Structure 1
Amino acid sequence: MTLYSKKDIVQQARNLAKMISETEEVDFFKRAEAQINENDKVSTIVNQIKALQKQAVNLKHYEKHEALKQVEAKIDALQEELEEIPVIQEFRDSQMEVNDLLQLVAHTISNQVTNEIITSTGGDLLKGETGSKVKHSNNSCSL
């Protein structure tokens, strides 16, 4: 059995990160983000939302509840308008695709490490038990 250092593992993680950053999903994400940054309508709405959010913070601080409700309603309306812009929808979809890929990789690594531990200790993959658990469960009475 080969023993790897943390440094070796981190280097492999960097290699994997580079591979992920060169996938179709990440490429689409980059293009969608660039389109958003170049879209004047999106920039205008985002700036309006930011200004209203600052107002909301001030109104909340000074306990201006009715004015705060009005500003929050304006923010919600602008956010809905923003979400209806096709490039925003494409960007959100691409974010989800990239997140799904990252979760798949993390899940795969976690499962594989667990499986390697089980098999390397002579355990039972189907039961999800390590070798020491299997060995000790055969020698003990059941409860």
Structure 2
Amino acid sequence: MNLEKEAAVEAALNDLTALLKENEVIIDYQRVQKRVAESDTLKQLEDEIKEAQKAAVQYAHYGKPEAEKAALKEADRLTKEFDQHPLVTAYRDQLVEANDLLQHLTHMIQKEVNDTLEADDFETDKSE
């Protein structure tokens, strides 16, 4: 690829990146992502889940099946609470929307590149 084409591709990529940063779906995703990362409640739930899981492993190691079962039940309860938290559900919804947008863009770019390559191959074949 010559330098002129590389510069054009770089410019187009920069334009696309700038447009994505201004896209409402991406902005909403980043906003919710930040709220999740800053949530003390969610951090606490994560810590409690990890502790319950560690306890279950320790109980299993020391041959205490009832205590292991109780710890696993607590880990499951905490995980369910985490999964149903409004911030987590909002984050997952926004993630799906952002992913759909990016997948659509990727598909469009792939199609355009393939069409261009096929057209170039056709032109090369005609000139030979």
TM-score w.r.t. structure 2 length? 0.69
Count of aligned pairs between the two proteins: 122
CA distance in structure 1 between the aligned counterparts of 2:34 and 2:114, rounded to whole angstroms: 40
CA distance in structure 2 between the aligned counterparts of 1:12 and 1:89, rounded to whole angstroms: 34
5+ residue gaps, structure 2: none
Q: Percent identical across equivalent pairs?
A: 24
**Match of residue 141 from structure 1:** none
2:96 is equivalent to residue 89 of structure 1: no
- Residue 25 of structure 1: how far off its partner (Å): 0.9
Tell me the amino acid that sits aligned with residue 17 of structure 1: T
Q: Which has the higher helix share?
A: 2
TM-score w.r.t. structure 1 length? 0.63
The alignment yields a C-alpha RMSD, in angstroms, of 3.2
Structure 1's 111 and 38: CA in aligned 2 closer, same or farther, altered over 3 A?
A: same
2:9 is equivalent to residue 4 of structure 1: no
Structure 1's 10 and 41: CA in aligned 2 closer, same or farther, altered over 3 A?
A: same
Using CA pairs under 8 Å that are at least 6 residues apart, name the structure with larger relative contact order, 1 or 2.
2
5+ residue gaps, structure 1: 124-130, 133-143
**Match of residue 122 from structure 1:** 122
CA distance in structure 2 between the aligned counterparts of 1:57 and 1:107, rounded to whole angstroms: 44
- Residue 65 of structure 1: how far off its partner (Å): 8.7
- Residue 94 of structure 1: how far off its partner (Å): 0.5
2:41 is equivalent to residue 34 of structure 1: no
